[in-house]
Chains A and B, each alone.
Chain A
Amino acid sequence: DARVTQTPRHKVTEMGQEVTMRCQPILGHNTVFWYRQTMMQGLELLAYFRNRAPLDDSGMPKDRFSAEMPDATLATLKIQPSEPRDSAVYFCASGSPDRIYNEQFFGPGTRLTVL
């Protein structure tokens, strides 16, 4: 049963602390997307990678957020230092978009609370 996995599922931290979220895409998928979901903003695309290379991270606050794919089975999203306004659910999604098919499959999310 191929699924996107994310860890941790929940994270509570204090302002100023570093937060690292991890994602394992579905085996064989070459594109990984990071989203943030809040009640006010809905689903926002933060960054995405194809074949481990960053394609677009314009949705991400660059001063405190960073995203990497150290290998094909792991994507990370890091916030340093974290702030209360970063509290949200962060989703990872993976897919293998081509000229025709563009389906993305989402993980269960990491619910982040910054106090």
Chain B
Amino acid sequence: GQQLNQSPQSMFIQEGEDVSMNCTSSSIFNTWLWYKQDPGEGPVLLIALYKAGELTSNGRLTAQFGITRKDSFLNISASIPSDVGIYFCAGQLISSNTGKLIFGQGTTLQVKP
């Protein structure tokens, strides 16, 4: 089936550092979403992207929809301890109109105070 390759799989960083993670695929997407999951909770939507090249910010988070429509990245600036969690990318294939999303395997972020 279709896959999203999300990297890195995990990150352990110092508080205050910037973080970057990305998702790539061989398929073309018309939607990219980024979620964060805290322990014991469901994923929470952070940023939604709908146009190739689109760059969107949400506080210290910035995400971009790749110009080729096959990738997306998420940056977190000046990380803080509450940024800890699992970050997922998700996308809808351009060939789909059902709302079905494909999810990456997640990036686990740990922040050392």
Contacts and interface: CB of A to CB of B under 8 A. Distances in A.
Interface of A: 4, 31, 33, 42-43, 45, 48, 50, 55-56, 91, 93, 95, 97, 99-109, 111
B42 A45 contact: no
Contacts, number: 59
Given A55-B98, A109-B41, A102 B106 contact: no
| Among all A-B residue pairs, the 10 with the closest Cβ atoms | A97-B99, A106-B42, A43-B103, A102-B31, A102-B92, A106-B43, A42-B105, A108-B42, A102-B99, A109-B42
Given A91-B42, A103-B33, A105-B45, A97 B98 contact: yes
A94 to B, nearest CB: 10
A31 B99 contact: yes
The interface size bin for chain B is 20 to 34
Given A45-B101, A101-B31, A107-B42, 11 more contacts: A33-B99, A33-B100, A42-B106, A43-B88, A48-B100, A91-B42, A97-B92, A97-B98, A102-B48, A103-B48, A104-B33
Contacts of B78: none
Interface of B is mostly: loop
B99 A99 contact: no
A50 B42 CA distance: 21
B50 A100 contact: yes
Nearest to B102: A45
Nearest to A55: B98
Contacts of B82: none
B98 A50 contact: yes
Contacts of A93: 42
B100 A56 contact: yes
Nearest to A48: B100
